[in-house]
Structure 1
């Protein structure tokens, strides 16, 4: 904290600050002044600049004179402040941060935590009396709203703080939060609402989304407070001694292990971020193998580990006992680890905001620089590293927007509110329309939601389990069935994932959870790595995998969903600008100098994509005729674009194409020759949006993709349940149930709102049709540069590898890739890429080592697959 003291601040607050030798920043004083007059708002400030203290001291200053302990015995006041966080680790850290100021300024208050980690005894105590300040998650807050006494319980809440608002704003958890805040404002019209964020590109929209259509509190307009934005951010890269000129995605990055060990050694304390939990497990094991002396000071942290393990790591980082923690997004947000002075990011962060967020975990205090070191897992990530740093320095951060009118979340909310004291439809409609997410909810959609919770729509009316909410004699809608009420509360939330199985020692401690689909692949006696331990599966009992320590054996890595992050549009545009500079002969950053030989081969054999130039390539191989196109629009857009072009190219006759794609481009492979030079320009034309929608849906197996989206929607809407009280359902059961509902609705209830939502989410999220239209629009203004290749180019090669992963072959995939790379390197001539410029044969000797083969095999084994890929692979296996 730093700046001059102002005399109009609460004297007790000033005294507490002076005792610590602090001085407040101007933005902190602005927040205190706004909260003192009862205003709502949002604080946007760099990570580690003091956001939490700004809003928390503002809340204490605004309420401490007004809210006092109750009764002669001085019971703590009832619940007055809700602090909503998106992650459990952040919730626990926030509770630790707010307790010291509270004890000094409001000693009669109490504080508590309510999340998925809260013990049953703590929950029981909170059920009797909630603390004055409750740190919670969106799901746990919604559970409170489902209590019959919700209004009485929450009517005294005066301040609601939403931490890391950018993390929630763009998804259904954010919609759930919007609805909860709207409900709280109904209970307490004078509610002050504040959001905190460090990485948002659309601040005004973020403020509107947080506060909805009621941005004023008792006539006081909302405020946007801009805090410190000049925090020093150091972004550097560990350059490989010999990087590939023909790179492909899918590595764990373990070839960089010596450099990472050295970087950790040089740091006082650091975090090693990975993008996947399986990758975190592998890196933790590899680091311990390289440095056995780090046992006890090297830690592993991800969301599937048991709460006790995670808390031990978090406290160890705070106290400086942990030298390095290998982690995932479980430590992304807002956690204050003062000893950490460096962050290592394994692989591309895939987004500018995510990079800045993770960097902020180092130097997490005012005045201290934040340092993040990027560790590329393949050569093309050097390009992304340089682009990311340029985007950060230019202040280019991704924007977030709220989903619009998701009916599955609304259906869940209706049941929640019906449990929480009941509702009258006309009053609740006005309340939910006060949110940005449902501002445009029309009468027909609203009536459909009411009908659905009352009797499940026309196709389920005969089944009592779907008569969840009914109006009583006074017109108040309630849940009359206690069994349905219990089932709803157990399944509240919008996070949908594979069914999880607990991992527990025989007769011993619980280690955490893994996905059911992973355990289903193992037989008793198989070994796998989890929590940094080599374990042997003994048996599976009632959704619990009982294990013991394994003596030896090759370990499989657990598989979790959500491991594949798409490249953001902001970062993709930055990559194109880096390529434009390379096309003009400018290699200004260390990363671009390191990857220069790769780009020079791409330029010599083909061309470099730029914002003004769309590069496409054709190639004839034994497999057929290839087309490679590089729009740099992200994986989701490329799926729609590749399918669209293939569909157009096959008209009016039928044709068959194999498709491969990544974040940079896509490949179409045809068994018959196609004159792409003549046809491609007309295939890239942008039609009106309604025609584009028809073409996109016609070009894909839209029914199969929509069916997958429907399973998630059905779970949120309460059609199917991840668990019942005392019972867990397998993922196979969930899929079968969802498929049955999908078929029933298609046949007997085609106007079902959830079917329409599945198609809408398919277009807006999975295929991102608006971004697809924007990409086609941008292509119209680009020059098409089409090249006939003699050998696959450095950009084409990783697309071919993507396709090889789907093919069944007697030749191991890693071996086949290594052979192809060797052939391409001989054709390219010269030296391999890298700071040391090692001879090509040395690079391939390293690649053909057992470590490289294991790295590749593990990466391929744990990679996420799209449903269309899995379906094609199943088809090949059937016909083989």
Structure 2
């Protein structure tokens, strides 16, 4: 028996799962592929032990190992998170040390010390655990080919998190480079929650390997138990977020019953508020409750992760920063505050509890408004039916290609024809035309049509006798390495105690609204701003809490297509009087009132409600397609209606529907509705109504940064958001005037349509609506479905000086009284 297999079965006492055995057999046969299995099933050992078995089979004399020099880089492990890198390294180190393999294992991430990086410049370890950015950085050095010459296996962890992002495309390009140097190299991916697994495998393996790649499914009976806290008194007129911390007593009661728990929120702001509330109401838990999100300082996060592994924490309030596969075995329950907005997200978070084979993953949903009870019930159905969201791979992000060209030019140079074929071997650039390739080459060698007069943008020098393109200068190579990567965000300011450590980062736009002496809640403690200097906010601890909490970008997650469809199915159940779970029984009074005052929309109906209030005339429509689709649809309808006649229309949206409000009545028959809901001229009308040029200008900032047009600054001297935006807008205007066919401009427009406006989903939604019956109802008072849209409109448009929540609450009470009176 292979010594590694013996360690697994005899020393550790494990019985391999079928998917683990299948993976080892495939690896020993030289195959590549994707392993899909639930979290906590042992995927790391499934793909990590195979390369060790191969090496042992090639070196059967175990007695000679001690005299062997550690082999050069043999296995490369790519992970999307630095925290996950550390956990993976610990898991892989265990068999290496126990078996006595003469292998070295090290990390290579942004957190690794400069001394380790200096050592790695001379020689890489046998096993390297790194991130996509660090891989690209290593590929930018002249000796990259020699360093990676002996790689036999590459593992890409959490592939479902990478594939649909520019980091995934960056990984694809890096893998293509390694395969060119090592044609026999095996590539393996790990995934826990994804619908389009065959496509995910093909994207990972590239065109050459996709046909022979294998897909191994770790089918498991791992149980996921989803329960929901049902409020004692559930209002029939819900509005976003009004429950929230009202359920804190029930959450505290449940935390009393568990040993260790993760309490997930959907935003970092929510996490700060929940952590503060728990500590306030359970002061005796101080030291047993912790906070974890991506803006906190790495050392703080690492301390929390270590305490959680050791079972010393009762509860960690966290965000997606703990979504991925870090092994926290002591966690026996997960809390989800607010709707997960997607089936895959809830499955992923559920897997954080019961993180051992055979254990039950338990989730307790904490709704922030009544309709989220339906979403938790719908998510349970989605998980039981394995209806998980797919991840769509990117198609030809030119900014990533431009960055890669400079990386490869700095990393020893390239032959143009050979690199073109290498790039086209990736899934992302499989359809890259010769004209698009020539544009990218011209852009990095001359600066393109608009920048050819500026030597700084001639980053890649044409061949000079050796047939190879090289980076133009070492200064350009140095600056390029500082900007490698595709992660972009609002410029972040460091939050630092005046006489102490860094606490983390907050977006510059939040700090810009504060003046010295203002207080805010961050890192789980009240802070007072002293001053700002060099992108650092110096603070001191405040004596009392403040309601001011930082708001980070990306705070509102839209309902996924799968979960939206499952919610519609729950409405169909209600129409058929099927209330089969606790959540649906709890919202039954709300749904029955909706039926009495208006209508419960069936799956083949588009319900359109009209109402009049002191603000004006309202139209409510309910496509149930998620917030992002409704944002585009609301703007489209408002534009088309305003084109028919001069009128002022404002649109408000949520995940279930949209509201159009106008000071004057809008008289529309069915034909008029059909006209404004048509797919005709969809893109043209969207571009016209949403000031798409301005949206594209803002989107271009990220593209310009990835493509290397703007430099974000040296360490400790980062440029402000205003500076970066000004620089990117200057480039945008220059290209628009002098290089209208610039592919980066085209990419900005595509990203606005596809990512911000979800034009594909919007088109599909309109096509579905074309086949629906339009059901129109005139309301005497706001229905339960209309009320949250009205409340959101009130918040966004500041129509009164009354406190928003007080007025919404007063309206809810009035409507409840009307409902009680019959």
In structure 1, the residue matched to 2:706 is 716
In structure 2, the residue matched to 1:223 is 214
**Which among 649, 658, 661 is matched to residue 657 of structure 1?**
649
Q: Alpha-carbon deviation of 1:710? A: 1.3
Distance in 2 of aligned mates of 1:418 and 1:684 = 51
- Cα distance change, pair 190–723 in 1 and its aligned pair in 2 (3 A): same
**Which among 521, 537, 540 is matched to residue 529 of structure 1?**
521
- Cα distance change, pair 301–726 in 1 and its aligned pair in 2 (3 A): closer
- Residue ranges of structure 1 left out of the alignment (5+ in a row): 1-8, 832-880
Instruction: Give secondary structure in 2 for the equivalent of 1:458.
Output: helix
Aligned ranges for residues 44-83 of structure 1 at < 5 Å? 44-66=36-58, 74-83=68-77
In structure 2, the residue matched to 1:276 is 267
In structure 2, the residue matched to 1:699 is 689
Instruction: Give secondary structure in 2 for the equivalent of 1:698.
Output: helix
Q: Alpha-carbon deviation of 1:208? A: 0.5
- 341-350 or 804-813: bigger deviation: 804-813
Instruction: Give secondary structure in 1 for the equivalent of 2:207.
Output: coil
Confirm or deny: 8 A CA contact 2:243 2:369 kept in the other structure: no
Aligned ranges for residues 769-788 of structure 1 at < 5 Å? 769-788=759-778
Q: Alpha-carbon deviation of 1:251? A: 4.7
Instruction: Give secondary structure in 2 for the equivalent of 1:130.
Output: coil
Aligned ranges for residues 311-390 of structure 1 at < 5 Å? 311-390=302-381
- Verify: 1:751 aligned to 2:741, yes or no: yes
Confirm or deny: 8 A CA contact 1:487 1:725 kept in the other structure: no
Q: Alpha-carbon deviation of 1:670? A: 1.7
- 694-703 or 746-755: bigger deviation: 694-703
**Which among 90, 95, 116 is matched to residue 96 of structure 1?**
90
In structure 1, the residue matched to 2:604 is 612
Distance in 1 of aligned mates of 2:78 and 2:242 = 37
Confirm or deny: 8 A CA contact 1:143 1:492 kept in the other structure: yes
Confirm or deny: 8 A CA contact 2:640 2:676 kept in the other structure: no
Q: Alpha-carbon deviation of 1:127? A: 2.3
Instruction: Give secondary structure in 1 for the equivalent of 2:688.
Output: helix
- Cα distance change, pair 651–546 in 1 and its aligned pair in 2 (3 A): closer
Distance in 1 of aligned mates of 2:219 and 2:207 = 28
Confirm or deny: 8 A CA contact 2:458 2:472 kept in the other structure: no
In structure 2, the residue matched to 1:838 is none
**Which among 539, 542, 545 is matched to residue 537 of structure 2?**
545
Confirm or deny: 8 A CA contact 1:13 1:105 kept in the other structure: no
Distance in 1 of aligned mates of 2:179 and 2:243 = 48
In structure 1, the residue matched to 2:559 is 567
Post-superposition Cα deviations, 1:713-771, rounded to whole Å, max 9, x if no partner, equal 11111112222355200011111111111111111111111111111111111112221
In structure 1, the residue matched to 2:113 is 119
Instruction: Give secondary structure in 1 for the equivalent of 2:505.
Output: strand
- 616-625 or 232-241: bigger deviation: 616-625
Distance in 2 of aligned mates of 1:270 and 1:210 = 34
In structure 2, the residue matched to 1:648 is 640
- 545-554 or 718-727: bigger deviation: 718-727
- 330-339 or 789-798: bigger deviation: 789-798
Distance in 2 of aligned mates of 1:277 and 1:59 = 39
- Cα distance change, pair 621–16 in 1 and its aligned pair in 2 (3 A): closer
**Which among 206, 223, 230 is matched to residue 200 of structure 2?**
206
Aligned ranges for residues 793-812 of structure 1 at < 5 Å? 793-808=783-798, 809-812=800-803
In structure 2, the residue matched to 1:489 is 481
Q: Alpha-carbon deviation of 1:76? A: 2.4
- Cα distance change, pair 722–242 in 1 and its aligned pair in 2 (3 A): farther
Q: RMSD value over aligned CA atoms?
A: 1.9
Q: Alpha-carbon deviation of 1:651? A: 3.1
**Which among 707, 722, 727 is matched to residue 737 of structure 1?**
727
- Cα distance change, pair 608–301 in 1 and its aligned pair in 2 (3 A): same
Confirm or deny: 8 A CA contact 1:91 1:113 kept in the other structure: yes
Aligned ranges for residues 210-609 of structure 1 at < 5 Å? 210-215=204-209, 221-251=212-242, 253-473=244-464, 474-609=466-601
Confirm or deny: 8 A CA contact 1:64 1:106 kept in the other structure: no
Confirm or deny: 8 A CA contact 1:503 1:546 kept in the other structure: yes
Distance in 2 of aligned mates of 1:744 and 1:829 = 63
Q: Alpha-carbon deviation of 1:23? A: 1.1
Distance in 1 of aligned mates of 2:735 and 2:371 = 46
Confirm or deny: 8 A CA contact 2:641 2:676 kept in the other structure: no
Post-superposition Cα deviations, 1:203-235, rounded to whole Å, max 9, x if no partner, equal 11111011010116xxx9221111133211111
Q: Alpha-carbon deviation of 1:282? A: 1.0
Q: Alpha-carbon deviation of 1:138? A: 0.9
Distance in 2 of aligned mates of 1:610 and 1:709 = 38
Distance in 1 of aligned mates of 2:164 and 2:10 = 40
Distance in 2 of aligned mates of 1:66 and 1:178 = 30
Distance in 2 of aligned mates of 1:273 and 1:680 = 45
Q: Alpha-carbon deviation of 1:410? A: 0.8
**Which among 776, 779, 789 is matched to residue 779 of structure 2?**
789
- Cα distance change, pair 503–738 in 1 and its aligned pair in 2 (3 A): same
- Verify: 1:30 aligned to 2:38, yes or no: no
In structure 1, the residue matched to 2:101 is 107
Distance in 1 of aligned mates of 2:640 and 2:550 = 40
- 546-555 or 378-387: bigger deviation: 546-555
Q: Structure 1 length as normaliser, TM-score?
A: 0.90
- 390-399 or 722-731: bigger deviation: 722-731
In structure 2, the residue matched to 1:182 is 176
Q: Alpha-carbon deviation of 1:16? A: 4.1
Confirm or deny: 8 A CA contact 2:65 2:101 kept in the other structure: no
Post-superposition Cα deviations, 1:85-114, rounded to whole Å, max 9, x if no partner, equal 111221111111111111123531111112
- 473-482 or 779-788: bigger deviation: 473-482
- Cα distance change, pair 538–530 in 1 and its aligned pair in 2 (3 A): same
Post-superposition Cα deviations, 1:834-861, rounded to whole Å, max 9, x if no partner, equal xxxxxxxxxxxxxxxxxxxxxxxxxxxx
**Which among 124, 141, 148 is matched to residue 147 of structure 1?**
141
Q: Alpha-carbon deviation of 1:305? A: 1.4
Post-superposition Cα deviations, 1:603-640, rounded to whole Å, max 9, x if no partner, equal 11111223111111111222222111100111121122
Q: Alpha-carbon deviation of 1:830? A: 6.4
Instruction: Give secondary structure in 2 for the equivalent of 1:545.
Output: strand
Q: Alpha-carbon deviation of 1:145? A: 1.0
Q: Alpha-carbon deviation of 1:349? A: 0.7
Distance in 2 of aligned mates of 1:252 and 1:168 = 34
Confirm or deny: 8 A CA contact 1:636 1:767 kept in the other structure: yes
Aligned ranges for residues 797-876 of structure 1 at < 5 Å? 797-808=787-798, 809-829=800-820
Q: Alpha-carbon deviation of 1:600? A: 1.3
Instruction: Give secondary structure in 2 for the equivalent of 1:229.
Output: coil
- 370-379 or 734-743: bigger deviation: 734-743
In structure 2, the residue matched to 1:171 is 165
Distance in 1 of aligned mates of 2:243 and 2:666 = 37
Instruction: Give secondary structure in 2 for the equivalent of 1:235.
Output: strand
Q: Structure 2 length as normaliser, TM-score?
A: 0.97
